[in-house]
């Protein structure tokens, strides 16, 4: 495990994290990203530079930690009454947030300062949690639904690839097309995460 903690810290540690994260966001607005340094951030946060180095290692890992926190969804997915509508609306919102200049910057930061892959895993977990809520609602309604990993593979993965490597022509219609396809997969059996996939494209 790297220097960063994978759970929300408590007590003084939580206060330090909140102060440092707030300092990074404020300084980015005031002086720009390229002017950021660990001593400058530490001074604004009211902590010593050694505290920042000890906890985050270097500036890039700190920026990665801040980015992951900013990518955390603030609310549950909206509910529209059926799985295709719920999933299409979520995919469109996901694309809108991740493909924006700010979203792209956060994704880059999250990955660049992530030597052990823990931040990438956390970002993936955010998406999986949101998808799980949507699929859970469908199952509660008695509807058939794919599993979480199928949605990750068929909706999130192609969206992220296009966002990072082939953004030209990427729009809401594409996101909704992907979501509609997986929501209407023939033979979906309401599988929950961890169950064996039966769809031929997931074998």
Mean pLDDT of 4-23: 73
What's residue 114's pLDDT?
82
What's residue 115's pLDDT?
82
Residue with tokens 């956060």: 106
Residue with tokens 């009211």: 46
| Residue 21 reports pLDDT greater than 60 | yes
| Residue 109 reports pLDDT greater than 80 | yes
| Residue 2 reports pLDDT greater than 50 | no
- Structural domains in the chain? 11-57 (1.10.10.60), 83-196 (1.10.357.10)
- Residue 196 pLDDT class (50, 70, 90 cuts): very low
What's residue 189's pLDDT?
36
| Residue 91 reports pLDDT greater than 60 | yes
H or E element at residue 153: none
pTM above 0.85, yes or no: no
Residue with tokens 């995460």: 193
Mean pLDDT of 16-21: 94
């Amino acid at each position: 495990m790297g220097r960063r903690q994978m759970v929300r810290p408590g007590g003084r540690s939580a206060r330090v994290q909140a102060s440092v994260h707030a300092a990074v966001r404020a300084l980015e607005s005031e002086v720009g990203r390229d002017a950021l340094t660990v001593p400058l951030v530490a001074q604004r946060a009211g902590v010593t530079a050694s505290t920042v180095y000890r906890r985050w290692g270097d500036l890039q890992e700190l920026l990665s930690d801040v980015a992951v926190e900013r990518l955390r969804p603030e609310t549950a997915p909206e509910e529209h009454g059926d799985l295709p509508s719920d999933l299409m609306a979520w995919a469109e919102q996901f694309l809108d947030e991740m493909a924006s200049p700010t979203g792209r910057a956060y994704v880059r930061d999250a990955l660049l300062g992530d030597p052990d892959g823990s931040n990438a895993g956390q970002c993936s977990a955010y998406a999986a949690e949101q998808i799980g809520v949507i699929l859970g609602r469908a199952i509660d309604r008695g509807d058939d639904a794919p599993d979480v990993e199928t949605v990750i593979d068929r909706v999130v993965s192609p969206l992220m690839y296009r966002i990072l490597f082939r953004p030209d022509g990427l729009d809401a219609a594409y996101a909704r097309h992907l979501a509609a396809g997986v929501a209407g997969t023939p033979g979906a059996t309401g599988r929950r995460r961890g169950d064996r996939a039966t769809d031929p494209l997931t074998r």
